[in-house]
Amino acid sequence: MTIARRLENYLKVRETEYRIHSHPHTGSSMETAEKAHVPGDALAKGIVVKDTDGYLLVVLPSDYHIELHILNQVLRQQVEMATEAEIAVLFPDCDVGAVPPIGQAYGIKTIWDPNTSLGKEAQVYFEAGDHEHLVHVSGRQFHELMATAERGEFSRHI
């Protein structure tokens, strides 16, 4: 697979200009940034959490961590990490651990922290749905893809 089918269809419908960037197989977002030779602060990652309303895709740069206690305050409820089995059901055309940060393509509510580097980058990369390919878009296009996502400050640089 180069790009997950649902993600590809969503990008086409949105008329998003993108390129696929190949890299050696990786197991974490920081390793992906290193092996793909892209800045960690320009690599968007998606983390799936759940709350009483369902699932939520949290988007932040690969070199940031979620501050769950702050995210709980932003959302005004408790969240916890989704299990790999739950993520596999939500993203059936993606490898586990290679979730694209475009929840809208999967009908999943999304929140991102635009005060991180992702809000300022000229180029943004993100998982294409497997552990060997990234989608590369302009920062402007990434902002357009995140236009319907909720916003909040809930992360910190590592």
| Measured distance CA(130)–CA(94) in Å, rounded | 6
User: What pTM does this model have?
Assistant: 0.95
- CATH fold of 5-157 reads YbaK protein (3.90.960)
Per-residue pLDDT of the chain (158 residues; tens, 9 = 90+): 689 999 999 999 999 999 999 999 999 999 999 999 999 999 999 999 999 889 999 999 999 999 999 999 999 999 999 999 999 999 999 998 999 999 999 999 999 988 888 989 999 999 999 999 999 999 999 999 999 999 999 999 98
How far, CA to CA in Å, does 44 sit from each of 52, 54, 63, 88? 25, 22, 9, 19
- Contact of 79 with 56, CB cutoff 8 Å: yes
Inter-residue contact 138 to 124 (CB < 8 Å): yes
Output the pLDDT for position 1.
Answer: 67
State CA 127 to chain mean position distance.
7
Rg (CA), the chain: 14
What's the pLDDT score for residue 158? 87
Domain boundaries, the chain: 5-157
